[in-house]
Chains A and B, each alone.
Chain A
Amino acid sequence: MTELAESHTTADRGYLTEKGFRSWAYTLDHKRIGVMYLFTTLLFFFVGGMFAMLLRLKLMTPGPGLISDHTYNVFFTLHGALMIFLFIIPAIPSALGNFFIPIMIGARDVAFPRLNIISYWIFVAGIIVTLASLSSPMDTGWTFYTPYSARTGAAVTTLSLGLFLVGMSSILTGINFIVTIHRLRAPGMTWNRLPLFIWGMYATSIIQVLATPVIGITFLLLAAERLFGIGFFDPAKGGDPLLFQHFFWFYSHPVVYVMILPAMGIISEVIPVFSRKPIFGYRAIASSSLAIAFIGFLVWGHHMFVSGMSSTASVIFSFLTFFVAVPTGIKVFNWIATMYRGSITFESPMLYALTFIFLFIAGGLTGPFLGALGTNVQLHDTYFVVAHFHYTMMGGTVMGFFAGLHYWFPKMSGRMASERLARVAWWFIFIGFNVTFFTMFILGLKGMPRRWAEYPPQYQDLHIVSTVGSWVLAIGVFIMFWNFAYNLFRGRPAPANPWRGLTLEWQTSSPPQTENFAEIPVVTDWPYGYGKKDDKGSRSKE
């Protein structure tokens, strides 16, 4: 390994030195692949966001207004499906995971670099097929429940096949990460010294590998149902519509942890760095990720309380659901304990990390209302649900993602973003978010159903408030990405370790050189030893 390293000279723009389309399209470098995923998923964040703005605009008036009911159905389906399948599920794992997993464990690349680039192109192929379905867009909601989805004239088959490909890409990436984490850790990087982001990604990969095939077969069955007229899910043909829902939620519940665990991993990195304290309860945080992954597989039925499942099954699912709260609570407790008496500074990554904790708790605390049998029946399919999942998904995962972007922007781009602009953006996002979505809790409690294009006029005032909130939020997001885009070219050059972190990615240049390290580091301590020794952020190499 050492001979290899010595022949290597660090060019000033690191892995970004080489230019041209081909040098990206055929690259085997996990960093470049991560960057490509980042741009691809962000594109769909913006497209999905556009649909969100249109939905909110439409909902300002109770009547038919701007767009027809059918168009509204199409819009919320596209908004949901794009956000879920093309943004929030792949964004952190495929983009930031690809970029940082090898570096943070001290490896030169992932275990299967060729498979990595193939997964990316499968992902793109999946997107293209998915977009082809826009010829007659989906109106089923992102859950495409049968029997409606088996009969509607929309291009469900095409979309199913597109998402099958997206899922395949996600499986291959998951396998690549698992093997990388098992096999390529640097000398001294024991499981007990693994950064918590890696633990989060490890648990995530396990879920991806075990849950995604089930949605894959579901999509295939749905496609076959439409293509060959078979009737697995159609009661008229002796099929069972509940079977579809079981399949769907067996995947889709664990997948909410694919969305949240990587974000939690980021938070676990950011909190100790900006509190300058050793992380509290390292083992508990690491093992709770695995626990969440495991329990996550047992609770899917809580989405089906009103679907006509047996009541025994409902009670069991309801009971198990409360269990997921335990490992989640452990994490939140440990983050707060880490901050306690730390010397906290509020740079942008920390601001977003704290926002994550705050909004995620709000989302989390409203979960039990939905998890409990009695209130679920009352709140099912109202705006309460819409508020709940936006608080957890957007307030949680997306804020975690933003924290990660601010934290790692200097490392990825080699430039510093503007802290001042980041703060301005944060204010807009924080206020806009709460105005938009807190209003939806109230709407839900007042009985406003979800997925309705038209609604009784007494809800209009709150809808107007929510829509105005969405504009503030959008301005914030715009400022944030302006900050990144501008400083990608104009920002002042970033030092190797701007936040004085102790994990390995800060031990290499910004941006990292092609093979990550001049010399594979030897790890002698865990990465959270702040305050004890060596607080300058440099790790002794032996």
Chain B
Amino acid sequence: MTETKHTTEQQGAALETAKLGIWAFLATEVLLFGGLFTAYTVLRVGDPQMFHTEYLKLNRLFGAINTVVLITSSLTVALGIAAIREGKTGTLKRCLLLTILLAAAFLGIKYAEYAEHFARGELPRTNNFFSLYYMMTGLHAIHVFAGMAALATMLVMAGRGKFSAEEHTPVEITGLYWHFVDLVWIYLFPLLYLIG
């Protein structure tokens, strides 16, 4: 197919189109997690006592650290996007790398947490609280992983000089997705760790 020169106007239109796409996609993600939130509500109403005693077994410290880690990573993505809007590819690359490291830290802590529960015999089949805990945090972790893959792709593309102040739609889209992943955690953390 013929390569056409991108005018600024076309780039703006491409970004709008891509944004509409990612917003629609995020709506589906909300509904995917929505199913789990519904299950949580229904099952909790069925047995509030059990949920209360079980939630005490979660490691609040790990949860809190992870919350800070993710919020920071949202900030680093945002800084990266701000940088590339001004054409600063170097800053973008550093920000992306930092975000990926933070995401890895998140998954590492999650792994330690899971290991702790497994050692104590708190498995997915233990009871509905732990089933939900593993399903919700597990699905979220998969999303973190997917986000990391997307961020890494952006880093490689940035390294190849694919982005500029005019042309960086994929970075913006990845950023939106990453914010969404953070946002889900912001709901999961209080729901699982803080509400008894």
Contacts and interface: CB of A to CB of B under 8 A. Distances in A.
Interface of A: 3-4, 7, 111-112, 115, 171, 174-176, 178-179, 182-184, 209-214, 216-218, 220-221, 224, 228-232, 237-240, 243, 247
If over half of A's interface residues share one DSSP class (helix, strand or loop), that class is named, otherwise mixed; here it is helix
A217 B43 contact: no
A444 B39 CA distance: 36
Given A4-B4, A229-B125, A232-B132, 14 more contacts: A7-B2, A115-B21, A174-B24, A175-B21, A175-B25, A213-B28, A214-B31, A217-B34, A228-B125, A230-B128, A231-B125, A232-B39, A238-B43, A239-B128
A168 B43 CA distance: 27
- Chain B interface size range: 35 or more
B28 A221 contact: no
19 contacts: A3-B4, A174-B24, A175-B24, A175-B28, A178-B24, A179-B20, A179-B24, A182-B20, A184-B17, A214-B31, A214-B35, A216-B35, A217-B36, A221-B135, A228-B131, A228-B134, A229-B125, A238-B128, A240-B46
Interface string B29-56: 1011111101100110011001000000
Contacts of B33: 217
Given A175-B21, A231-B131, A213 B46 contact: no
B43 A213 contact: no
B28 A209 contact: yes
A111 B28 contact: no
Contacts, number: 102
Contacts of A7: 2
Contact of A232 (B17, B21, B28, B128): B128
Interface of B: 2, 4, 13, 16-17, 20-21, 24-25, 27-29, 31-36, 38-39, 42-43, 46-47, 50, 123-125, 127-128, 131-132, 134-135, 139
Contact of A210 (B16, B28, B43): B28
B124 A179 contact: no
A243 B34 contact: no
B32 A216 contact: yes
Nearest to B40: A232
A97 to B, nearest CB: 16
A218 B35 CA distance: 8
Contacts of A111: 17, 21
Nearest to A230: B131
A230 B130 CA distance: 9
B165 to A, nearest CB: 23
A230 B21 contact: no
A228 B4 CA distance: 52
A433 to B, nearest CB: 36
Contacts of B25: 171, 175
Given A210-B31, A231-B131, A238-B47, A183 B125 contact: no
Given A209-B24, A239-B43, A183 B32 contact: no
Contacts of B28: 171, 175, 209-210, 212-213
Contact of A243 (B27, B42, B135, B139): B42
Nearest to A233: B39
A228 B20 contact: no
Contacts of A213: 28-29, 31-32, 34-35
Contacts of B16: 183
A212 B50 CA distance: 32
A231 B132 CA distance: 10
A184 B42 CA distance: 43
B39 A224 contact: no
A219 to B, nearest CB: 10
A232 B24 contact: no
B99 to A, nearest CB: 24
Contacts of B17: 111, 179, 183-184
Given A178-B24, A232-B128, A243 B39 contact: yes
Contact of B128 (A3, A184, A237): A237
